[in-house]
Amino acid sequence: MAAGEGATAQGFQSAAVGQGASAGISASGGVALGQGAQSGAQNATAIGSGATSGYTSSTALGHGAGATAAHQVVLGTSAEDVIIPGGMVLSETATPATLVNASTMTWTGPAVITVTAAGALTGLILAAGTVGGQALRVINESAFTLTFAAAGTSNVADGVSDVIAALTARDFVWDSNTSLWYRLA
């Protein structure tokens, strides 16, 4: 379906609404909504004037927003603030990981990882981040302290000085310039 001057919907079951909006031939199930919005891949969605989503199952929302990877959701551009009324909830791992000395804390999506331990631990590693500004929260559900390894090993900027106390949580942000996690003070 295409509606609007110069709008085109070439993909199977795709829709383009707005002047110059386009859901390309590869955009099966794609949606482009807004003046000049472009959906160029399967199940890609672009909403807003000039929004582009050219990767499978990606979504770009807002004027000029552009998805740069498959399964990505992009809100606005780097020149704009995103406001979420009512707050935001970060997903959490379903089951706490049981750590031992020198364990690597990893995750496969959730921004909150829960961990536990049978004693005070040292030499811990936090798996590298994937994109600058990425946020991660570690919840220590154990009654013991968790201490990271040196920065070069742990991926944590303050390395062995970073100790997560028993029954507390710690927030980190990934810096792609240094390839390290920085704790939020």
Supply the DSSP string of 51-71, one letter for each residue.
-EE-STT-EEESTT-EE-STT
Residue 32 inside a domain? The answer is yes
One domain for residues 46 and 117: no
Task: Give percent of the chain with pLDDT exceeding 70.
Answer: 100
Residue 86 inside a domain? The answer is no
One domain for residues 110 and 155: yes
Domain count, the chain: 2
One domain for residues 105 and 135: yes
Least confident of 57-66, 76-85, 130-139: 76-85
Residue type at position 71: H
Domain boundary among 25, 40, 75: 75
Q: Which residues pair with 76 in a beta bridge?
A: none
One domain for residues 179 and 118: yes
Of 83 and 15, more confident: 15
Cite the DSSP H helix spans in 19-59. none
Tokens 């750590």, residue? 99
One domain for residues 143 and 173: yes
Arithmetic mean of pLDDT, 70-97: 88
Q: How confident is the model at residue 122 (pLDDT cuts 50, 70, 90)?
A: very high
Residue 81 inside a domain? The answer is no
Give the pLDDT of residue 2.
93
Give phi and psi for 151, each to the nearest 5: -50, -45
Residue 34 inside a domain? The answer is yes
Residue 51 inside a domain? The answer is yes
Domain boundary among 25, 43, 75: 75
Instruction: Give residue 38's domain range.
Output: 2-75
For residues 85 and 99, the answer to whether their CB atoms sit within 8 Å is: no
Arithmetic mean of pLDDT, 152-167: 98
Q: How confident is the model at residue 81 (pLDDT cuts 50, 70, 90)?
A: confident
Quick check: pTM over 0.75?
no
CATH of the domain at 10: 2.150.10.10
Measured between alpha carbons, how far is 121 from 137 in angstroms, rounded to an integer? 18
Query: H-helix or E-strand containing 152?
Result: helix 151-154
